[in-house]
Structure formats: structure tokens, C-alpha cells
């Protein structure tokens, strides 16, 4: 049903010029299910660890190690995607995520050592998926309508991102967080099914080639991409944990999952509307201006986080943050996809960027752990938010050929 809906939507719009409608429908049906699974589980993983008695410093250091591991395996993951093809790499990444969910569900019975299993399998899955999906999308995009294509892709993602924390929080409240992990594992298995409908569209058995690679395309936006990774950790993991502990309050009951899910889901309407508007602006060659304004708005959002004191404040700030982050990431990724075309080595370029972003996220987590250790939990998080408000401005240093034409 999901596949038929997406097929019909794309068929009416006639955007996809370099891939069949069935292949695109399969790709997005698979992505929708994967995003649903990830966000159902990821919306409460850190909260669950805290509820189990792990300290904030331990939790944040776990994520620092996780992102560092992802950075180290980004190039090998790109090599796998080039060798077996992006569709098969997506399929493999979905399969690899399932053991991490099983291990996380068994954490109370077998102890913290299972977090190594969680990190390894989830790290391989996440890195490989991000690279394979971006290879595929950057190749099939339309030059003239890339903004709308990214907008529709973003709307599909935001639909799942907006609803899944609510669904995950409700399920965790009713039947417990362990059962939610089982559901997430089943969704990952289901996400592999659409990819089995057609053959691999990319020529497999390709090797990564670094000789002659245009490193100038990376140098011109490497610092900016590092800052994007820094922002990803703070806006996602750090913020949700801060809200759960200091705004909602974590107790022995599962009510925190429901409340936190509601607060993370209020952004849905704003995300859908802003994605559509931003897509049109990007196609009208306003992407650079949009990116600059949205980055400044994103920085101000981070600087406002320490002053949030109630769930209503959280909901309002989440809406503003979603509109700002969507604005800069859509225009930014449009330019990244253009660079992937110019590079002549799509897998290498995207693999290198994935490594850089994960280094940024790991540094953010390490800084967060240090600040929490030195200043205390609440003040440490607030200091991290201020630091991120400054760091995210580094995205403005990116120099994209697309914006200079």
C-alpha cells in the first residue's frame, strides 16, 4: 500500500528522469519504513539508558564512541556500497540494524557489554545506509527540479519523524520500551521487502578510486560539514535527553516516553509546510539565501535552549528549530548532491563527507560529556547548547559551485 501511494505521487509529478517509477517507489517505501523504525526506537534509547541507571556522562560517551566508530567505517562502507551496489547496500544495512535492537532489548538482563554489540551493528547499518541512499538519490535527481524532489523526500521523512516518536512513546507507555524495540526490528525486516522487487540499478563490482579525486570539493565545505555533524548530535540526542530529564522528568514509570514523544511530534505540520515552500525557493535559485538565513535562525534556536522551562516552551522551540534546520539542510544537501555530480567519484565523495559529519557529532558528544562532568548535568547541557549555537555558524563557510553560478 505504501509503495503504491508513493508510486502514484511520483507518477503524477514526472520528476524522476533517470530511474523507473517502480524503483523510486521501492526506494522510498523502504526508506519510509526504515525511518519509522529508527525514530520509534531512537526517540527513547538515551532515556531508556538513563532510566536503567546509567549516568549522563556514560550515555553521552557511548554516543561519542558510536559516532567515532561510524566515522572510521565510512570509507569501508562506501567501498561495500560501490562493490555490491547501493540497493543491496541498503538491504544489508536494514538487516544489520536488527541485531542492535535485539541486543538493546536484552540490556537489562545481560549488562552494559551489550552496548558494544548495539554500537557495532547500528554503526555499520547507519553508515552504510546513509552512504548508499545518498549515492542513489544524488544520481537520480533532476537538475531543474531537485528542490521539489528533495522537498517531497523531506516530507516523507518528516512524516515518519513527526509521527514515530508519538507512536513509539505511546507504545512504550502502554506495553514497555522493550516491546517497542521488537516492533522496530520487525519494521527493519519489512523495509527490506520493497528492495527485492527489481534488480540492482547500479553496475556492481566497482572500486573506490582516490587517484585524481577533486579534493577541492571537500576542502571548500569540510569545516561546514563537520559543523553539520556537531549540530545533529546536539539537536537530536542531547536535546531529547535534556528535555526528558529536566523538563518532563524521568521516573520509574513509562510516562516520560509518551510525553517526550508528543513534544517531539508537534513539529509535523511545520515540517511539512516548510519543506514544500523551501523546495520551491531552491528551484528558484534562492537556495544560498535560504541557507544563510536558516543557519542564523538555527544558531539562535540553540542559544535559546537554556531558557526553556516548560513543555509548552519545548513544543514552541521544536517548531522553530524544525523550520530553521529544514531550511538549511535542504539547501545544503542540494549543493552537496551537485558536488557529487562534479566529483566524478560519487561513492568516494559521499563516503568522505559521512566520515567528516560523524567526527563532528563525536566531538560534540565528547564536549558534552566533558561539560556535564565539569559543570553538572543541567549546566553542562546548557553550555553545550550555547557552544553549538556558535559552531553551527561555521556552516556559512561552505563554498559550493552551485551557489556561485
pLDDT of residue 351: 95
In the chain, DSSP finds a helix count (H) and a strand count (E) of 19, 0
Residue 211's pLDDT band (cuts 50, 70, 90): confident
On the question of pLDDT at 363 being above 90, the answer is yes
pLDDT of residue 398: 94
pLDDT of residue 303: 97
Which of 133-147, 193-207, 349-363 is most confident?
Answer: 349-363
Average pLDDT across the chain, whole number = 82
On the question of pLDDT at 201 being above 60, the answer is no
Which of 234-248, 261-275, 377-391 is most confident?
Answer: 377-391
The answer to whether the Cα torsion of 46, 49, 55, 58 is positive or negative is: negative
Cell numbers standing for residue 33: 519504513
Taking a C-beta distance cutoff of 8 angstroms, is the pair 322, 259 a contact?
Answer: no
Dump pLDDT digits (tens) for 154-165: 777 767 666 665
Q: Tell me the DSSP string of 1-69.
A: -HHHHHHHHHHHHT---SS-HHHHHHHHHHHHHHHHHHHHHHTTHHHHHHHTT--HHHHHHHHHHHHHH
Please give the average per-residue pLDDT across 262-274, as a whole number: 71
Closest-CA residue to 134 (of 192, 58, 74, 177): 74
The kind and range of the H/E element at 131 are helix 114-140
Taking a C-beta distance cutoff of 8 angstroms, is the pair 127, 354 a contact?
Answer: yes
Taking a C-beta distance cutoff of 8 angstroms, is the pair 382, 306 a contact?
Answer: yes
pLDDT of residue 10: 46
| Cα radius of gyration (the chain) | 20
Q: Which tops the pLDDT comparison, 362 or 194?
A: 362
Dump pLDDT digits (tens) for 295-348: 999 999 999 999 998 888 888 898 888 889 989 998 998 899 889 888 888 899
Q: Which tops the pLDDT comparison, 236 or 234?
A: 234
Please give the average per-residue pLDDT across 8-23, as a whole number: 45
Please give the average per-residue pLDDT across 347-363, as a whole number: 96
pLDDT of residue 27: 64
The 3-state secondary structure of 289-306, one letter per residue: HHHHHHHHHHHHHHHHHH
From CA 180, how far away is CA 37, in angstroms rounded? 9
pLDDT of residue 215: 94
Residue 357's pLDDT band (cuts 50, 70, 90): very high
Instruction: Kindly state the percentage of the chain with pLDDT values over 90.
Output: 38
Q: Which of 32-46, 196-210, 247-261, 263-277 has the lowest mean pLDDT?
A: 247-261
pLDDT of residue 209: 85
Residue 170's pLDDT band (cuts 50, 70, 90): low
pLDDT of residue 318: 85
Residue 214's pLDDT band (cuts 50, 70, 90): very high
Q: Residue 341's domain spans which residues?
A: 2-404
pLDDT of residue 21: 43
Residue 4's pLDDT band (cuts 50, 70, 90): low
pLDDT of residue 173: 64
From CA 215, how far away is CA 210, in angstroms rounded? 9
Taking a C-beta distance cutoff of 8 angstroms, is the pair 65, 366 a contact?
Answer: no
Taking a C-beta distance cutoff of 8 angstroms, is the pair 388, 234 a contact?
Answer: yes
- The CATH number assigned to the domain holding 103 equals 1.20.1250.20
From CA 259, how far away is CA 80, in angstroms rounded? 40
On the question of pLDDT at 391 being above 90, the answer is yes
pLDDT of residue 15: 37
On the question of pLDDT at 35 being above 80, the answer is no
Q: Tell me the DSSP string of 158-226.
A: HHHHHHHHHHHHHHHHHH-HHHHHHHHHHHHHHHHGGGGSS--SS--S-----TT--THHHHTTHHHHH
From CA 327, how far away is CA 281, in angstroms rounded? 10
Closest-CA residue to 19 (of 193, 145, 200, 150): 200
pLDDT of residue 6: 47
pLDDT of residue 17: 41
Cell numbers standing for residue 178: 522493550
Instruction: Kindly state the percentage of the chain with pLDDT values over 70.
Output: 74
For the chain, how many structural domains are there in total? 1
pLDDT of residue 44: 72
Amino acid at each position: 500500500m505504501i509503495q503504491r501511494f508513493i508510486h502514484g505521487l511520483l507518477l503524477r509529478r514526472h520528476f524522476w528522469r533517470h530511474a523507473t517509477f517502480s524503483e523510486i517507489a521501492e526506494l522510498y517505501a523502504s526508506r519510509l519504513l526504515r525511518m519509522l523504525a529508527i525514530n520509534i526506537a531512537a526517540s527513547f534509547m538515551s532515556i531508556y539508558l538513563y532510566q536503567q541507571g546509567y549516568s549522563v556522562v556514560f550515555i553521552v560517551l557511548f554516543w561519542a564512541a558510536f559516532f567515532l566508530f561510524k566515522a572510521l567505517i565510512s570509507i569501508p562502507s562506501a567501498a561495500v556500497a560501490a562493490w555490491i551496489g547501493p540497493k543491496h547496500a541498503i538491504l544489508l544495512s536494514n538487516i544489520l540494524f536488527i541485531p542492535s535492537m535485539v541486543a538493546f532489548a536484552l540490556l537489562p538482563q545481560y549488562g552494559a557489554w551489550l552496548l558494544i554489540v548495539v554500537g557495532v551493528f547500528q554503526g555499520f547499518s547507519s553508515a552504510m545506509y546513509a552512504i548508499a541512499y545518498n549515492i542513489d538519490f544524488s544520481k537520480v535527481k533532476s537538475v531543474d527540479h531537485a528542490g521539489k524532489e528533495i522537498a517531497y523526500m523531506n516530507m516523507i521523512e518528516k512524516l515518519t519523524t513527526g509521527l514515530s516518536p508519538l507512536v513509539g512513546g505511546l507504545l512504550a507507555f502502554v506495553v514497555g520500551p522493550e516491546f517497542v524495540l521488537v516492533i522496530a526490528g520487525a519494521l527493519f525486516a519489512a523495509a527490506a521487502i520493497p528492495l527485492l522487487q527489481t534488480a540492482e540499478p547500479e553496475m556492481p563490482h566497482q572500486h573506490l578510486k582516490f587517484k585524481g579525486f577533486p579534493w577541492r570539493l571537500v576542502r571548500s565545505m569540510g569545516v561546514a560539514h563537520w559543523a553539520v555533524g556537531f549540530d545533529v548530535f546536539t539537536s537530536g540526542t542531547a536535546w531529547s535527553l535534556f528535555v526528558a530529564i529536566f523538563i518532563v522528568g524521568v521516573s520509574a514509570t513509562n510516562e516520560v516516553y509518551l510525553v517526550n514523544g508528543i513534544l517531539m511530534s508537534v513539529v509535523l505540520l511545520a515540517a511539512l509546510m516548510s519543506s514544500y515552500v523551501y523546495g520551491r525557493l531552491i528551484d528558484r535559485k534562492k537556495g544560498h539565501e535560504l541557507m544563510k538565513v536558516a543557519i542564523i535562525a538555527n544558531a539562535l534556536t540553540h542559544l535559546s535552549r537554556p531558557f526553556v522551562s516548560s513543555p509548552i516552551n519545548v513544543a514552541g522551540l521544536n517548531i522553530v528549530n524544525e523550520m530553521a534546520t529544514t531550511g538549511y539542510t535542504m539547501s545544503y544537501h542540494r549543493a552537496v548532491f551537485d558536488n557529487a555530480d562534479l566529483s566524478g567519484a560519487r561513492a568516494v565523495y559521499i563516503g568522505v563527507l559521512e566520515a567528516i559529519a560523524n567526527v563532528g557529532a563525536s566531538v560534540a558528544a565528547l564536549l558534552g560529556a566533558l561539560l556535564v562532568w565539569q559543570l553538572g548535568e543541567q549546566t553542562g547541557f546548557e553550555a553545550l547548547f550555547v557552544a553549538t549555537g556558535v559552531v553551527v555558524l561555521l556552516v556559512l563557510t561552505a563554498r559550493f559551485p552551485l551557489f556561485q553560478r
